[in-house]
């Protein structure tokens, strides 16, 4: 619905270049890893805050750790409604940055520099 309302629905041929894809036959934004990171952060924060939650006797079955997935689900609904407004901007920045990294002179230089900077931390394998 967001892509139709904002008139950013991409044709089938250019979907991947514009950060869109098909999920269960529905064209949508491809948030992929960032979506998982956001969901993990929300779940961790909910666990830290609500794992000892005590509810009234009628809802006592859902007290404690059982309340965390319910609250996480409820919090992810508004987050999921807000993300598309910012994801278009993030996608455009990533796509414009890929032009720099795909340059045959600048790209390898950036790779080598980042690789050398990450060696002291043992994270140089992240780029490979």
- The whole-number pLDDT of residue 40 equals 95
Residue 114, both tokens: 């980042």
Q: How confident is the model at residue 112 (pLDDT cuts 50, 70, 90)?
A: very high
Q: How far is CA 51 from CA 19, 43, 108, in A?
A: 36, 11, 47
Q: What is the mean pLDDT of the chain?
A: 87
- Condensed to tens digits (0 to 9), the pLDDT of residues 28-64 reads 888 888 889 999 999 999 999 988 888 888 888 888 8
What does R_g of the chain's alpha carbons equal in angstroms?
21
In the chain, where the domains are located: 31-98
Residue 1 has pLDDT above 80, yes or no: no
Residue 50's nearest CA partner among 70, 35, 80 is 70
Please tell me the distance from the alpha carbon of residue 76 to that of residue 74, in angstroms, as a whole number. Answer: 6
Residue 53's nearest CA partner among 37, 72, 38 is 72
């Amino acid at each position: 619905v967001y892509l139709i309302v904002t008139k950013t629905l991409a044709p089938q041929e250019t979907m991947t270049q514009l950060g869109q894809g098909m999920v269960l036959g529905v064209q949508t934004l491809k948030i992929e890893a960032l979506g998982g990171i956001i969901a993990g952060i929300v779940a961790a924060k909910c666990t830290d805050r609500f794992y000892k939650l005590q509810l009234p006797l009628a809802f006592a079955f859902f007290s404690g750790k059982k309340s965390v997935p319910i609250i996480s689900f409820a919090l992810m609904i508004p987050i999921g409604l807000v993300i598309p407004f910012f994801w278009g901007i993030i996608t455009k920045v990533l796509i414009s940055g890929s032009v720099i990294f795909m340059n045959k002179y600048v790209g390898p230089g950036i790779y080598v520099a980042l690789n050398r900077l990450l060696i002291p931390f043992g994270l140089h394998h992240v780029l490979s």
